[in-house]
């Protein structure tokens, strides 16, 4: 789908579909609405009289009549005025793309509400509407052709004000990168060995102008990164550590380091997982994919930041060479870890990933990881579990999450929790079998490796996969964390 800036008021000219936005209990027709009503022989006002109320996520399509200049007319509800925010428009954009997915729509025009009618900036409305439509139009077609290649081809958004062009460019880039990230998460582990994901990173760097260095298993061994190596040693496809480097900020600006868990398949290893649902563990590299997508987006949007992306990549399989419960490994930081469960492998690869990030002397570290099933138990699928050691950083992430429609919720990392991961024989153990505070324990483990560097941890395990359809995210991977962190970078440039 192509997004363009509509010129003029959007109430004239031919199109294949016209979208009209409504606030609940304020069902007024603007000029475009009135014209559409006339063209549809009064069908719009009839719907407003009975049926359509403008409720959040409400979508009604009036199919194109033979004489209509506007083709299909789509009524989109934004919900109550008091609750109106960017997310309302993102959901409406999703509803629009969804409603027209099975029709042929070369050009769809959408007229935003006038600035005085909405509490947020018009360019934000434009951007959110576009983003919702773009995200909703994603399909994973690498192995199965799309049933149809219809839907909206060009979406022209009217009424976004003078800042609309820049806002819509951001929506378009983020929409494309979000699809790229979802393709990586959807891709079966068969076709995404650690080296394949490293190759994606390398090709991305060449294409968009950022550095990419790939450390092989030999390098990892030399550097003492035995945690990544231990997780990968049960697979024939060896681990990698990828370090991306985007230098878009002033020279004197200390970089931000993003670390993404890149377990390309998590069988659990010797502590093997139950069979049912294991196929979803091809998505255990969602954190790494998100970080790659963030760096690509930052480069494409020329964001004024110096960034590192650190991707520890490994495959967790129970092969003959696999690590065992009871093993003690020495991480790159010199901390020894007793492996209680080979299925608590994410914190192992991140231990070395965060340690490597620290060596790059960043101003802060943010990691993104599908770390604990307990995140879903605690928060369901409506919030990313957020933890860290720096209030300011956590506040910036929280705000960006609200703006991006990827909400977070902070969990504590009080030192009392450290007791749970104390080991008799090593500095730390990677799991206790007590079942208490599962997500927090993941955070407690990682905190040790972040040390005194400002650090935040996004556990996306509860939100990484949509089971039900959603206004703008299909069933399947959500790429959560990516849009949030791009947003944070946009809001805190320099
Ligand atoms: N990759 C999983 C977490 C996960 C679960 C992600 C469900 C997405 C959906 C992680 O490596 C894992 O296995 N975690 C264990 C931790 C435990 C052994 C401490 C878990 O959640 O059971
Ligand atoms: Mn696991
Ligand atoms: Zn895992």
What residues flank ligand 1, with Cβ below 6 Å? 266, 284, 341, 343-346, 370, 372-374, 431, 461, 464
Query: From its phi and psi, is residue 302 left (phi > 0), alpha (psi between -120 and 50) or beta?
Result: left
- CA 345 to ligand 3 center in whole angstroms: 6
Choosing from 270, 272, 338, 344 the residue with most ligand 1 atoms within 8 A of its CB, the one to mutate for a pocket test is 344
The Cα 105–Cα 98 span in angstroms is 12
Which pLDDT value is given to residue 9?
Answer: 67
Choosing from 314, 343, 351 the residue with most ligand 1 atoms within 8 A of its CB, the one to mutate for a pocket test is 343
List Cβ neighbours of 241 (8 Å cut-off, separation of 6 or more): 214, 215, 219, 220, 225, 228, 310, 311, 312, 313, 352, 353, 356
**CA-angle at 268, arms to 414 and 217, nearest 5°:** 90
In this structure, CATH architecture of domain 179-491: 3-Layer(aba) Sandwich (3.40)
CB atoms within 5 A of ion ligand 2 belong to: 266, 343, 345
Instruction: Give the residue, by CA position, lying nearest to ligand 1 atom 22.
Output: 373
Instruction: Give the residue, by CA position, lying nearest to ligand 1 atom 8.
Output: 461
Quick: pLDDT tens for 170-215.
999 999 999 999 999 999 999 999 999 999 999 999 999 999 999 9
Tell me which ligand sits closest to the C-alpha of residue 280.
1
The Cα 190–Cα 182 span in angstroms is 16
Is pLDDT at 263 greater than 70 in this prediction? yes
Which pLDDT value is given to residue 65?
Answer: 80
Which amino acids are annotated catalytic?
273, 347
Choosing from 287, 346, 457, 481 the residue with most ligand 1 atoms within 8 A of its CB, the one to mutate for a pocket test is 346
Quick: pLDDT tens for 342-353.
999 999 999 999
Which pLDDT value is given to residue 150?
Answer: 86
Instruction: Give the residue, by CA position, lying nearest to ligand 1 atom 5.
Output: 373
Mean pLDDT of 20-38: 92
Instruction: Give the residue, by CA position, lying nearest to ligand 1 atom 3.
Output: 372
CATH number listed for the domain at residues 2-158:
3.40.220.10
Nearest to 70 by CA among 93, 114, 37: 37
Quick: pLDDT tens for 104-152.
999 999 999 999 989 999 999 999 999 999 999 999 999 998 877 789 9
Q: Which residue has the tokens 């294991």?
A: 278
- CA 343 to ligand 3 center in whole angstroms: 7
The Cα 59–Cα 193 span in angstroms is 42
The answer to whether 315 touches 237, Cβ cutoff 8 Å, is: yes
Query: Is the pTM higher than 0.75?
Result: yes
Tell me which ligand sits closest to the C-alpha of residue 278.
1
The answer to whether 494 touches 304, Cβ cutoff 8 Å, is: yes
The answer to whether 230 touches 323, Cβ cutoff 8 Å, is: yes
Using the Cα atoms of residue 282, residue 288, residue 291 and residue 297 in order, give the sign of their dihedral: negative
Quick: pLDDT tens for 63-96.
988 768 899 999 999 999 999 999 999 999 999 9
Which pLDDT value is given to residue 66?
Answer: 72
The CATH 3.40.220.10 domain(s) of the chain lie at: 2-158
Q: Which of these ranges, 147-156, 160-169, 198-207, 383-392, has the smallest mean pLDDT?
A: 147-156
Tell me which ligand sits closest to the C-alpha of residue 372.
1
Q: Does 374 or 7 have the greater pLDDT score?
A: 374
The CATH 3.40.630.10 domain(s) of the chain lie at: 179-491
Nearest to 401 by CA among 474, 458, 439, 454: 458
Query: From its phi and psi, is residue 143 left (phi > 0), alpha (psi between -120 and 50) or beta?
Result: alpha
- CA 360 to ligand 1 center in whole angstroms: 28
Instruction: Give the residue, by CA position, lying nearest to ligand 1 atom 16.
Output: 344
Which pLDDT value is given to residue 10?
Answer: 65
- CA 227 to ligand 3 center in whole angstroms: 14
Quick: pLDDT tens for 405-449.
999 999 999 999 999 999 999 999 999 999 999 999 999 999 999
Which pLDDT value is given to residue 11?
Answer: 64
Mean pLDDT across the chain: 96
- Quick one: pLDDT band at residue 309, thresholds 50, 70, 90? very high
Is pLDDT at 388 greater than 80 in this prediction? yes
């Amino acid at each position: 789908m192509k997004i363009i800036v509509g010129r003029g008021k959007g109430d004239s000219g031919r199109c294949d579909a016209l979208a009209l936005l409504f606030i609940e209990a304020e069902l007024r027709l603007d000029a475009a609405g009135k014209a559409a009503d006339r063209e549809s022989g009064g069908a719009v006002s009839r719907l407003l009289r009975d049926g359509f109320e403008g409720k959040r996520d409400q979508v009604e399509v009036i199919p194109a009549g033979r004489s209509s200049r506007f083709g299909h007319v789509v009524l989109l509800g934004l919900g109550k005025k008091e609750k109106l925010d960017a997310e309302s428009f993102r959901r409406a954009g999703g509803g629009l793309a969804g409603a027209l997915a099975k029709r042929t729509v070369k050009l769809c025009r959408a007229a935003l509400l006038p600035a005085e009618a909405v509490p947020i900036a018009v360019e934000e409305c434009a951007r959110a509407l576009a983003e919702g439509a773009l995200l909703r139009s994603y399909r994973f077609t690498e192995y199965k052709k799309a049933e149809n290649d219809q839907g909206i081809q060009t979406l022209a958004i009217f009424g976004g004000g003078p800042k609309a062009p820049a806002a819509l460019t951001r929506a378009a880039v983020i929409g494309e990168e979000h699809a790229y990230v979802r393709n990586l998460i959807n891709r079966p582990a068969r076709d995404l060995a650690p080296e394949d994901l490293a190759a994606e990173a390398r090709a991305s760097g060449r294409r968009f102008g950022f550095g990419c260095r790939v450390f092989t298993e030999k390098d990892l061994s030399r550097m003492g990164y035995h945690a990544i190596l231990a997780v990968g040693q049960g697979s024939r496809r060896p681990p990698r550590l990828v370090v991306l480097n985007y230098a878009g900020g002033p020279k004197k600006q200390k970089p931000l380091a993003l670390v993404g868990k890149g377990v390309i398949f998590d069988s659990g290893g010797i502590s093997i997982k139950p069979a049912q649902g294991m196929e979803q563990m091809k998505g255990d590299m969602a954190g790494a994919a998100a970080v790659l997508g963030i760096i690509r987006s930052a480069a494409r949007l020329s964001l004024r930041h110096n960034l590192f992306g650190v991707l520890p990549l490994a495959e967790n399989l129970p092969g003959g060479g696999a690590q065992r419960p009871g093993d003690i490994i020495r991480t790159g930081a010199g901390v020894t870890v007793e492996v209680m469960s080979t299925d608590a492998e994410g914190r192992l690869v991140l231990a070395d990933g965060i340690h490597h990030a620290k060596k790059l002397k960043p101003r802060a570290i943010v990691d993104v990881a599908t770390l604990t099933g307990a995140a879903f138990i605690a928060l369901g699928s409506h919030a990313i579990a957020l933890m860290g050691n720096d209030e300011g950083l956590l506040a910036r992430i929280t705000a960006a999450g609200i703006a991006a429609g990827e909400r977070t919720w902070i969990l504590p990392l009080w030192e009392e929790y450290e007791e749970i991961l104390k080991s008799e024989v090593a500095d730390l153990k990677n799991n206790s079998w007590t079942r208490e505070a599962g997500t927090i324990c993941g955070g407690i483990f990682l905190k040790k490796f972040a040390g005194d560097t400002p650090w935040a941890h996004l556990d996306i395990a509860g939100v990484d996969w949509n089971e039900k359809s959603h206004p703008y995210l299909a069933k399947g991977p959500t790429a959560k964390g990516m849009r949030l962190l791009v947003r944070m970078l946009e809001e805190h440039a320099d």
